[in-house]
Copies of this chain bind each other. A is one copy, B any other.
Amino acid sequence: MVQDILQAAAETFARLGYARTTTNRIAARAGVSVGSLYQYFPHKDSLLMRLLTGHHAEVHQVIDRALEQLADPGIPLEKSLRKLLTELTALHAADPSLTKALSAAVLRESPAVDELHKEQDVEHLQRVSTLLAERPDVRQGDHRAMAALLGQTIGQLTRWLVHDTPAGIDHTTLLEELVQLLTRYLRK
């Protein structure tokens, strides 16, 4: 039942945005009563947080694997980045309503969700920063800044790629361009 509710929540948040989504509507779509929804989720907000937590876990798994690969200087930068981006967009595309629901637009409507990111992001920043410093084919510079920019670019443009691509532009082309953007940015 928890899964049904979460799925219904994701779909409805994605379609209507957080504010216009009512808990009654979510419950109805999930085929349960509001009462049951509140048995498992204390707030409307908690639905979003649970969705987010789950998604984060998946994303971080993908990223962690990518970071391992990036740590190996034998594997070309471009190849690792392409793999990361491919897996990330695949993840988003797998459950579009979920990722749409978790888009910045929806998230920022809900209070206190913002913080969740920060911690993990700070840790990541450090790891990526060191990693860049250690790769011989990555150019010199303020690696913390580079890591931060890298992270943002990947996060934001990946979402854009899956959800808001302008009409008439090929998806694969765009993905490849994104690979180029990042590779050219990092390499010497």
Chain A residues within CB distance 8 Å of chain B: 17-20, 103-109, 111, 121-122, 125, 141-142, 144-146, 148-149, 152-153, 156-157, 160, 165-166, 168-170, 173-174, 177-178, 180-181, 184-185
Complex CA–CA separation, A149 to B122 (angstroms): 26
Inter-chain contacts of A106 with B (CB < 8 A): 108
B180→A166 contact, CB < 8 A: no
Other A-B pairs beyond A104-B105, A181-B185, 12, CB < 8 Å: A121-B166, A144-B169, A145-B169, A145-B177, A148-B165, A149-B157, A149-B177, A152-B157, A152-B160, A156-B156, A156-B160, A184-B184
Contact of A157 among B20, B156, B165 (CB under 8 A): B156
CB distance from A154 to the nearest CB of B (A): 11
B181 touches A153 (CB 8 A): yes
Question: A184 to chain B: which residues have CB within 8 Å?
Answer: 184-185
Complex interface: chain B residues within 8 A of A149 (CB): 157, 174, 177-178, 181
Cβ–Cβ contact A148 & B122, under 8 A: no
Query: A153 — which chain B residues lie within 8 A by C-beta?
Result: 153, 157, 181
* CB-defined contacts of A20 to chain B, threshold 8 Å: 109, 111
Q: What's the Cα separation between A178 and B185 when bound, in Å? A: 9
